[in-house]
Amino acid sequence: MSRWSWFLLQTLCLLSTGAAPPRAAPGAANCDLKSQQSELNSFLWTIKRDPPSYFFGTIHVPYTRVWDFIPDNSKEAFLQSSIVYFELDLTDPYTISALTSCQMLPQGENLQDVLPRDIYCRLKRHLEYVKLMMPLWMTPDQHGKGLYADYLFNAIAGNWERKRPVWVMLMVNSLTEVDIKSRGVPVLDLFLAQEAERLKKQTGAVEKVEEQCHPLNGLNFSQVIFALNQTLLQQESLRAGSLQIPYTTEDLIKHYNCGDLSSVILSHDSSQVPNFINATLPPQERITAQEIDSYLRQELIYKRNERIGKRVKALLEEFPDKGFFFAFGAGHFMGNHTVLDVLRREGYEREE
């Protein structure tokens, strides 16, 4: 699962299966793990109240890659809590339809009409390459579940010519061999939502789809074209074997399983968007990359943290006798202006 492909939730719901698949290889084999599983850092924070409420940091990867490394105290907090809240309601069909609508160009428009011709041709060429390679990328386990390459390609990239360029850019980021091999296994957030439903817990969401979606649609046209061009350049270089990406899904999993709270990788997982800033860019393009990074950090991390924190406070006040378990992207609890910082400002103390 790509670090930035929350927007493909419809595919996750479509392809997830009820039965737990075979365990994948551990994602933390090379880190200095504690000798006891119970000693691991758990990305779990507790708010002082009676009953206590918990905040749990997730990442958008198949749950089988991280579940065995999540300490018992986090799993116990989930089981004990009577109400579980997520960023979005991952099991509501409206969430899926709203995400789909948000990605679409205005009626009557197609990508060919809005993209520069050279970028459109490169995009089409790359998607043809992906479609050709996908049967080779898929695993026997996926075939055993009835997943086939044409079906999977259409589930992810179908109707791509009607999507807004920013969503096509994110889609291209998710169409890699590593990401394709993980399809069919629910990501951690979705697995927790399914478990909460199975356990008949009360569930809810602190955000609406539009609040996550509109900031991406708010990038201006030149910024989106820059981002799509950079994404295609990266994928073309990867295909040619001339580029090593700075960090991968495997790096994300390792940092998470090792309890690395300081990792910048985790904040990129929560902002959903790749970082385009690098030293090889010409000065003007570097400014564009910095503007995109600054805008999305403000819109997708800081503003959302403020909004989420205030909505959590309202829930805690409305239901003082209920124990909550809030499962949000781990990046929302790191760095400056976190969800926990908002709650601290509102008078809530965290257990150390």
Please identify which residue in the block is written with the tokens 């200095």: 32
The number of folded domains in the chain is 1
Task: State residue 2's pLDDT score.
Answer: 31
Residue 5 lies in a domain: no
Residue 351 lies in a domain: no
Mean pLDDT calculated for residue range 153-176: 93
Angle (CA) 280 283 287, round 5°: 105
Amino acid at 75: K
pLDDT band at 23 (very low <50, low <70, confident <90, very high): very low
Contact 271, 87 (CB under 8 A): no
Q: Residue 261: name the closest of 11, 45, 63, 53 by CA.
A: 45
Q: Which is more confidently placed, 165 or 29?
A: 165
Residue 129 lies in a domain: yes
Task: State residue 6's pLDDT score.
Answer: 37
Task: State residue 316's pLDDT score.
Answer: 96
Task: Please report which helix (H) or strand (E) contains residue 16, including its range.
Answer: none
Task: State residue 86's pLDDT score.
Answer: 97
Residue 8 lies in a domain: no
3-state helix, strand, coil in the chain (%, to 5): 55, 10, 35
Please identify which residue in the block is written with the tokens 């965290």: 350
Task: State residue 245's pLDDT score.
Answer: 66
Report residue 54 CA to chain centroid gap. Answer: 21
Residue ranges making up the domain that contains 145: 38-346
Mean pLDDT calculated for residue range 305-311: 96
CA atoms within 13 A on the CB side of 287: 3
**Non-local CB neighbours of 241 within 8 Å, separated by 6+ positions:** none
Q: How far apart are CA 120 and CA 125, in angstroms?
A: 9
**Non-local CB neighbours of 91 within 8 Å, separated by 6+ positions:** 13, 193, 194, 197, 203
Mean pLDDT calculated for residue range 36-58: 81
Q: Is 146 left (phi over 0), alpha (psi -120 to 50) or beta?
A: left
Residue 29 lies in a domain: no
Task: State residue 9's pLDDT score.
Answer: 41
By CB neighbour count within 10 A (0-12 exposed, 13-18 middle, 19+ buried), where does 263 fall? buried
Task: State residue 296's pLDDT score.
Answer: 87
Contact 293, 276 (CB under 8 A): yes
pLDDT digits (tens, 9 = 90+) for 202-227: 999 999 999 989 999 999 999 999 99
Residue 302 lies in a domain: yes
Angle (CA) 158 295 245, round 5°: 60
Q: How far apart are CA 288 and CA 222, in angstroms?
A: 9
Task: State residue 5's pLDDT score.
Answer: 34
Q: How far apart are CA 248 and CA 238, in angstroms?
A: 13
pLDDT digits (tens, 9 = 90+) for 118-150: 999 999 999 999 999 999 999 999 988 888 999
pLDDT digits (tens, 9 = 90+) for 73-94: 999 999 999 999 999 998 888 9
pLDDT digits (tens, 9 = 90+) for 168-207: 999 998 898 988 998 989 999 999 999 999 999 999 999 9
Report, in angstroms and rounded to the nearest whole number, the Rg of the chain calculated over CA atoms: 20
**What is the average pLDDT score of the chain?**
84
pTM score, two decimals? Answer: 0.85
Question: Does the pLDDT at position 25 exceed 80?
Answer: no
pLDDT band at 256 (very low <50, low <70, confident <90, very high): confident
Question: Does the pLDDT at position 261 exceed 90?
Answer: no
Residue 137 is encoded by which pair of tokens? Answer: 């990328």
pLDDT band at 31 (very low <50, low <70, confident <90, very high): low
Task: Reduce the DSSP state of residue 202 to 3 states and report it.
Answer: strand
Task: State residue 276's pLDDT score.
Answer: 64
pLDDT band at 278 (very low <50, low <70, confident <90, very high): low
By CB neighbour count within 10 A (0-12 exposed, 13-18 middle, 19+ buried), where does 79 fall? exposed
Task: Please report which helix (H) or strand (E) contains residue 313, including its range.
Answer: helix 303-318
Residue 22 lies in a domain: no
Mean pLDDT calculated for residue range 254-263: 76
Q: Where are the alpha helices (DSSP H) in 182-263?
A: 188-198, 209-217, 221-240, 249-257
Residue 20 lies in a domain: no
Sign of CA dihedral 283, 285, 288, 290: negative
Q: How far apart are CA 52 and CA 179, in angstroms?
A: 37
